[in-house]
């Protein structure tokens, strides 16, 4: 099995991150503390697992299925 193209993975990451970075801060802002650093830390703590544990595994499964 050959690894997927790293440029394709970067593009998929980009398009997955744009809506997450746009919408999640707006959705969470009413529940976050005033401290800006703490806000960013919490938002990143939400976005990174979504990318790492949902988006990328689904992407890898689809790319592996397509390469067979």
Nearest to 9 by CA among 19, 24, 64: 64
9 in any annotated domain: no
DSSP 29: G
> Is residue 67 pLDDT above 90, yes or no?
no
10 in any annotated domain: no
45 in any annotated domain: yes
Q: What is the pLDDT of residue 2?
A: 79
Indicate the number of domains in the chain.
Answer: 1
37 in any annotated domain: yes
**In whole angstroms, what is the distance from residue 10 CA to residue 34 CA?**
33
44 in any annotated domain: yes
CA distances for 52 relative to 8, 13, 29, 30, 34, angstroms: 16, 10, 23, 25, 27
Q: What is the pLDDT of residue 1?
A: 67
Query: pTM to 2 decimals?
Result: 0.87
The size of the chain, in residues, is: 68
Q: Tens digit of pLDDT for each residue in 10-64? A: 999 999 999 999 999 999 999 999 999 999 999 999 999 999 999 999 999 999 9
7 in any annotated domain: no
């Amino acid at each position: 099995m050959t690894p997927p193209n790293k440029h394709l993975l970067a593009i998929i990451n980009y398009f997955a991150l744009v809506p997450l970075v746009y919408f999640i801060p707006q959705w969470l802002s009413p529940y976050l503390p005033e401290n800006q650093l703490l806000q960013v830390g919490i938002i990143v703590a939400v976005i990174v697992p979504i990318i790492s544990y949902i988006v990328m595994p689904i992407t890898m499964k689809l790319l592996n299925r397509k390469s067979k």
